Structures are given as C-alpha cells and as structure tokens.
Structure 1
C-alpha cells in the first residue's frame, strides 16, 4: 500500500531536449507576470497528477501548494528537479516513462511558443499568423506526418461521463482502430481516454505498432484534465482557441460523445466553421454518438442547434446511437472522401490549410464578467458569427467550472451574467439545465453551484 504522498527527485530527458540555452533557462525560471515559470509549474503538476479525479485547477494547485520544479544544466544537459511531486507518478522511486515523456513535451512546447514563434509569423495578417503558429507548433512537436493518407479521427466528449458512456467510447475507438484509424483527443479522462483505450487493443490485434494517440491541451485546462497515460503524443497549445484550431487542422474527421459545456463549446466551434460559405464544399465527417439511453441527450443538443443556428447547421452532422460499427464505417468512408478531395485539390494530407477559420473563432476570449455580459447573442447576425459568440459563452462557463482564474473571479464577483434574446436564452437554459441534471458539469460535486446566470432585457431568466 502506498503511504508516501510526495517525491523529491531529479530527472533527465530520454531523447529530446538534451540541452537548453541560458536564455531558455532564464525564461523558464522567470516567475514574473510575463514569465514562463508559472505556466511551466502548472502544466508539469498536471502531468505528474495524471489519473486524479480532481477537475478543478484551483483544487489541484491548492492540494500541491508545496510542489516546485527547478531547471538546471550539467554540461549543458537538461535536468529537472522535482520537489514534493505526486507520488503516483513514480514506481519504486522511478518516474513512469510515459509521464517523463509528457513532462518534456510540456517543456518543449512552452519554450517553443515563448521564444521562437513571434519571429516566424511576421508579415502575415493576424488570422494567417494564427494558422501558421498552430502549424509550426504541431510540426515542432512532430505531429505533422507528410505522405500519410488521412487517418486521424478527433474524439470530443465529456471528462465527467458515466461508466456506460465510457465503455461505449472504448467500443467506438476499438472499431475505428480495427480500420487503421488513429485517435486524437483533448488528452484527459472520460471520453478523451476511452477511444484511445479501445484503439490500443484493435491496433495490437492488427499488429499496428505505430498507433497514434494524440492529446492536445492548453495551460488553462490541463490541470483540470490531466493527460491520460495512453497519450503518446502530447501537445500543449497556447490557449483554447489555438487548441481548437489544432484539432480541426490536424484531424480529418470528428466523433463527438456525450459531454457538458466544454463539449457543447467544441460542437459550436466546428459547426460555426462549417457554416461559413468558404467551407461549404469542404468534406469533413462529423458524427455525434453515444450508447443506448443517450437519445434524450442528443435530442436536447440537436434542438439547441436547430433553434439557434438553424437546420443548415444540423445538416453538418449525423447522430448515431448505440452502433460503434456504424460510427467507424461512417468515419472510414468520410476519410476516404477527404482523401479524394485533397488529392483533387492538391491539398496536403497532414494539415487542413484550405479550411477557412474566421478571425472571430481565433481571437482569444478572456472569460471575465465584462466580456461574458457583452456577448452578442442575437439572431441578427450571420449563423457562424452567432456560433462564435455562443462558443464564447460556453467557454466562459467551462472557465467558471474548472479553470483557476474563472473560479477565483466567480468567488470574488459572483456568477457570470449571460445576456441575449429571449429565444436564445430559453434554448441555452434547456441545454445547460440538462447538463446540470445529468451531472455533466463537473466530476465530483454533491450539488452543482452554477457559475452563470441567464438574462434577457435586463431581467434574469433563470438561475439553473
């Protein structure tokens, strides 16, 4: 029985990042407001805390308040000094290999974004610079694989799901793995882990030794969704918007499992992009799926989409209930269509340059009280612009639920107020109310305390 809670030790990388410049070390040790140390410590703790059932960044940071990480070099070789690290990351005093790899992935990506990228995207528009930044981060992480036919399926869904739903995600991952498809998720637990776990079995059966289990996270969410141990390619993007863009640029199709506010945010993101006129001819398979018993969940999501964005948005996806085989076949056929399209248009297989992402989906949204109250949630705008604003509203709710700055803002100033047209607010009320009733907002809570209030015409509609 493990009784030790903390471990203090030092580790070195296995293969990459064998050396750092003095400038890079200074950047990582800079604890000032603009320095990298705070982000590095937070992301490293999340990696070391893999398997935790805490989904609040604040609770994780409070629990391991004495954790520290220091960087040193011996003969220019990198060494990380871990102080009071979670003991679950070690076996017989040795750090678990996968966790060791993830730690240095964090180091790789934070350094690259912090020291290199500004010089690589000069001379471009802001939107072009964002897309190029995402490409450079993915390429630097080794995620870009030229000359490989489209085979990467992004799987979205909740970290807080029940056992039946989790087992279903494994079955879907298993069926896709049998067809040679690889998996990309947000890297956390629940619906992010299940498809990877299923695919590992089918990849082993097919003797596919190079199976890819790509996990894409960002500093604000990683402590609440620590990387699951199956991830063999961990990538840390600078913010949620670039994380979402990385999913749709790198992936070739998307499967969405039941989830809460974060999953709804992801659905609105991809639908808003697909609704843009420049993407109407772009093949991109999108399937919403869950086990028997999830019909009501998808009916609620579908009704929300139709009532806010319209039937055209609903035409962009299929809903398949309790049929992993059919989901895998739809994705296989969809990826074959993607392959034919990219061959015909001379588009790369490995990065979806042709997809147009409006700047409103790329601009980082800071979920504070002022910004949440100022969101434009009205029908008098294009459907993709409404999707972008709805996405921001859901992103703010995620921040208020699990992200440290959001939680502290709610504690200090009270719930976020979300204002909009009565019909939109009524639809959002039904959607969020169903998430609360089905316990999809957080993993562990006896009674969910809403971090938001819905309003219209300056009157509170309802506090769910």
Structure 2
C-alpha cells in the first residue's frame, strides 16, 4: 500500500512568522548556501513524526518528491509543502505541534547560519566562543527559563529499546513529574519519549500547566530521531558536539537509561567533563537506571568504564536498578544541591557557565574513514583525552548506523576501521556485540543488523 501524501500551505502559529527577503533567498538558494537542503531534510523529519525510522538515507530516498518552499507576503510568511506525509495533517490542517516544530526548525537553521556560523564575533575555534554560541542559539529559541529554579532533568537512552524498558522510562518520568521536574531529551522515540510521557502525566496530577518537555537535536540525527509529540520546546543545534554541550549547560541533572552506541557516546561525554579537575566540586547528579530485566546492561557499561577510564570515572555516577521513586528522590535532592551551589557562586540557574568543558569535547568531529582510523585509543592518554576519543569513536558508529552521510560513506568506502590498546578494543568489541545481540544498534527489522565498523585487533 503506497504512503498517502498531501500538499498544503501552512501558516506559522508560534515561531518566526516574518522573514527578510535575504533570509528567504538564503533558504531557497541551494547552490550558494546549502541551507535549503538542510532545511528540507530537517522539515521532512519533523513531518514524518510518528512514523519512526532510524535510517536517514532511506527516509530521504523514500520522499524524493518532497518539496518545501516559502511564500513571502506583506503580512508574513507561509510554507508550501508538496508530497508531505499525510500523518502530519488532520482534516486537511497540520497538527499544531508539528507546525510549531516545523517553524522551530526554520528559526534555528536561519539563526545559526546568519548569526553564528557566518558571524566573526563568534570564534568557533575557541572554547569560550563555542560556549557563547550555544548560549545564543538556546536563548534565541526562547527555551531558556531564567525565572525557574533548577528542575530540568536530562534523560538519555536509546531509541531502540524493549517495551519493558520503555515503560520503565515512563515510570521514572512520572515520578519526576510528580516532584515538579521538567524533562529534556534528544526528542525522539524510545527512552527519549517515555520520560516526557510519564512526566506529562505527573504534571497533570499536580496541575502543573507549564511543564517543559525540551527536545535538543541536530541536523544529522533528526531524521533518525524525529521529534516526538510531547516535545513542546524544540531546538536544533548545528552539530553533535554543540548539542551535547547544550544538554549539560541547560540541564541540572542527568538520568541515563539503556541504549546503544549513541547512549554510550553521551555517557563518555559527561564523564569526560566531570573528570576535569575544575569540575571536581561542582554538583551534577548523574544516575544510571534500568528495570530489573536490564540489570546486565549497566553492569556491562560499568565494566567498560572501569576498564577504560578507571575507578574515578565510576565514582561520578550511581546505578539504581528497578526503583523509579528512589531515582526521582535522588534527583530532587541533587537539584537542590545544584541550586545552592549556583546561588553561592552567583551562577545562572538556566545556563551552567561555570562548567569547564575542554576543547577536546567541543571541536566538531567529522567521522570520515580517515578520522576514524586515526583515533588514538590508548591508556597512555590522559583520562579526559581518552574519554573524548572514545566518544568520537561511538559518535562515528552512530553516523554509520543512522545518518545519511555516514550510511553513504560506508556504502562507498567500506567499514570504519578502529584500532588501539588491545584491552580497550576488546572491551569495546564486547560492548558493541552486546548491543547488536539485544537490538540496540538500530530499530528491529526483517533485515539483520550489519556493523558499519570493524575492530582491528
């Protein structure tokens, strides 16, 4: 049965209802700026909301006829879409949440390219310059809440998880929602949707009407993790590194659920940051949690961290199995410590300026075959540098699994090659094999998962 497609004109209901002629021309001029291609790709991902796939290449090829263009009018703008997925509409009108997400995409892509990437005032080779750029993107999106106490909990975990694990993420979200906590995730399905859904129920019980469900994504991943319907604040960062920095600068605590290579990348990122001496006294609650049936997942993660980054890294987090209420209470108590610390040091509640993030975690890593092969994965490195390189390795695997450019690179040049210290590579191989065995690399399908990488021992 062929997929139903529709054409329509859409008026913005919340974000960016006026554009300059220059902005319109930039969005439509693929030959000079490439912004149109980026906008089209992200817009298509938003419109396929609910029809989850984790193959960006397949999504783009399935909708080759999809078009989106801007209609500039004296009283504002409209978007005209052709060949759009029908599930984005009800009775001929675009679903309100999808409308908001679509125009949020336009807002962030335009702002990032006009005010950040092409602006000499932002030095994106400098650590402070990158942090400042992330702040400006977040502020422009309107998603920072300066008058709120620290209550934003970042939830990380996989898009490909079992029903048991999904229900568990909902229960933790519910317990957090009952305690007035807001939720921030990568905005996709699975462990990114569950906590938001649970928190929305908890907020409803507490009659909290302004709960925040913040989704943070980037162009390369949005097609694999299109925004789920509960996201009421969406922001697009230009790359994975700035996306990760946005999580830890705006969030006040982190809960990690089972996942795959992407979740491991996120774990390595936050651990590398917390291990920096400048962050030693800074409270940042970090909890790993899973249902009893997935206890083995975090045992393997803990073993991998101990074997690669050592005991000090293991001391940065607490593992709580099958106890959502305990997780929520710990997070609530931890965010109070965050509030007290921020107040004591006159730091903003809504953006963690004091957190030291080394440039190793900020520099954009493009996972080409050459860059992946040249990654140094050795115990002779400083711990935070090893964490940064391991993070890059897992980021490359994510790209090869789900991102359009990564999938095409694998098809053209073969598997990514990864090599390094024998013990590190053995532990990485064991961990990745466990992800494959438990369908954590990609969404389950009729076609068996084919690795995009090779561990060279």
Task: Show the counterpart of 2:408.
Answer: 408
- Distance in 2 separating the partners of 1:90 and 1:281: 50
Name the SS for the 2:293 alignment partner. Answer: coil
CA contact (8 A) 1:50 1:229 kept: yes
The equivalences for 1:32-51 within 5 A come to 32=31, 34-51=33-50
- Distance in 1 separating the partners of 2:413 and 2:182: 44
Name the SS for the 1:294 alignment partner. Answer: helix
**1:160 Cα deviation from its structure 2 partner:** 0.2
Give the structure-2-normalised TM-score.
Answer: 0.98
- Distance in 2 separating the partners of 1:166 and 1:236: 25
- Distance in 1 separating the partners of 2:308 and 2:110: 41
- Distance in 1 separating the partners of 2:18 and 2:53: 34
Name the SS for the 1:46 alignment partner. Answer: helix
Task: Show the counterpart of 2:295.
Answer: 295
Name the SS for the 2:319 alignment partner. Answer: strand
Displaced runs of 4 or more, over 6 A: none
CA contact (8 A) 2:125 2:363 kept: no
- Distance in 2 separating the partners of 1:322 and 1:218: 32
| Residues 1:450 and 2:451 are matched in the alignment | yes
CA contact (8 A) 1:184 1:214 kept: yes
- Distance in 2 separating the partners of 1:208 and 1:420: 51
- Distance in 2 separating the partners of 1:10 and 1:123: 39
- Distance in 2 separating the partners of 1:413 and 1:3: 33
Name the SS for the 1:266 alignment partner. Answer: helix
- Distance in 2 separating the partners of 1:172 and 1:410: 37
The equivalences for 1:2-401 within 5 A come to 5-32=4-31, 34-117=33-116, 118-119=118-119, 121-122=121-122, 126-401=126-401
Please say which of residues 39-48 and 2-11 is displaced more in the overlay: 2-11
- Distance in 2 separating the partners of 1:296 and 1:240: 28
Q: Per-residue displacement from partner, 1:406-461 (whole Å, max 9, x unpaired)?
A: 00011111100001010110110111011011110000333110100011xxxxx3
Q: 1:128 to 1:25 in 2, by over 3 A?
A: same
Name the SS for the 1:363 alignment partner. Answer: coil
Q: 1:3 to 1:66 in 2, by over 3 A?
A: closer
Name the SS for the 1:7 alignment partner. Answer: strand
**1:76 Cα deviation from its structure 2 partner:** 5.0
Q: 1:123 to 1:162 in 2, by over 3 A?
A: closer
- Distance in 1 separating the partners of 2:74 and 2:215: 32
CA contact (8 A) 1:400 1:407 kept: yes
**1:147 Cα deviation from its structure 2 partner:** 2.7
**1:143 Cα deviation from its structure 2 partner:** 1.4
**1:295 Cα deviation from its structure 2 partner:** 1.2
- Distance in 2 separating the partners of 1:120 and 1:273: 27
| Count of residues in correspondence between the two structures | 455
Please say which of residues 442-451 and 411-420 is displaced more in the overlay: 442-451
RMSD: 1.3
CA contact (8 A) 1:191 1:257 kept: yes
Q: Per-residue displacement from partner, 1:234-278 (whole Å, max 9, x unpaired)?
A: 100000000000000000010000000000000000000000111
Name the SS for the 1:380 alignment partner. Answer: coil
- Distance in 2 separating the partners of 1:52 and 1:314: 38
**1:34 Cα deviation from its structure 2 partner:** 3.4
CA contact (8 A) 1:71 1:81 kept: yes
Q: Per-residue displacement from partner, 1:107-163 (whole Å, max 9, x unpaired)?
A: 000010011124374478611111000000100111121131100000000000010
Q: 1:260 to 1:4 in 2, by over 3 A?
A: closer
**1:292 Cα deviation from its structure 2 partner:** 1.1
CA contact (8 A) 1:20 1:76 kept: no
Structure 2 unaligned spans of 5+? none
Please say which of residues 157-166 and 17-26 is displaced more in the overlay: 17-26
